[in-house]
Structure 1
Amino acid sequence: MKKIIFTDKAPVPIGPYSQAVLAGNTLYTSGQIPLTPAGDLVIGSIEDETKQVMENMKAVLEAAGATFDDVVKATIFISDMNDFAKINAVYGSYLNEEFAPARETVQVARLPKDVNVEISMIAVIN
C-alpha cells in the first residue's frame, strides 16, 4: 500500500508526480529543485540554490515523519561538476555524518527550469 506525501512547505509538483510516496516504511522523494514553496525560482549562487533544495527536501521528509537521519540513499544531479565542492558543503551541513546516506552525484546536460542542482532521496522510517 502506498501513501502520497504532500506539504505546502515545499513547491507544488510541476508535473504528474508527487512530492513523495511512502510505500510501507520506505519513503521515495521526487527530485527537488531550487523553487520556493511559492513557486519562485532561486537564482543566485550555487550555494543558495542548494540550500533551497535542501530546505524543500527537509519539508517533504518532515511531512512524512522523517528526518535527514532516516535517509538511506541520495542522488544529486548537477549541471556543472565544478560546483561539486560547493554543493557538497551545503548538502553536508544538513546531515549528521554518523547517519550519512549512500549517494551518487551525476553531471547532467540539463535540469528542469534550467536549474543547476536537483536532489532526490530515499528514506526508511521506523
Structure 2
Amino acid sequence: MPSSTRAVPVSSAPLAAVRPGGCDEAAAALTAYRRNAGTIRSSQAAAAQQTYRDLMGAGLDAQGAVGAKISRLAAEFQELNFRLTGMTGGDPNQVIADVNTDAAELNRLCGSS
C-alpha cells in the first residue's frame, strides 16, 4: 500500500547567515566595556581587565581572521589596563585608538554594520 506524502511548501525567505564563532561574545564584551568603564581611571582599568578576560573566552570559539582579531583586541585591553594602573608607561588613548580601529575591523569580519 503506497504511503501518502504531502509536499511541504518551501519558504522563499533566505536563511540568515551564521556569524563566525566568537563574534557575539566579543561584541558583548565590547558593549559591556563601554557600559561599565565610566570616567574614573580605576573603573576604566577594572572594565579593561574584565574585557580582556571576556575576549580571551570569546577567542576560544573563534578561528582564522576573526580569532586573530579577537586575540589582538584582548591584548590591547590588557595593555590598556596596564597603562591605566601605571604598570607600564604610555598614553592610554593610544591603546584606545587601536581598540577602536580593531573593533571596527572585527565588526566587518563578523558581518556587522
TM-score bracket, normalised by the shorter chain, equals 0.3 to 0.5
Question: Which one has the bigger strand percentage?
Answer: 1
TM-score (norm 2): 0.35
TM value normalised by structure 1: 0.32
Which has the higher Rg, Structure 1 or Structure 2?
2
Greater length-normalized contact order (CA 8 Å, ≥ 6 residues apart): 1
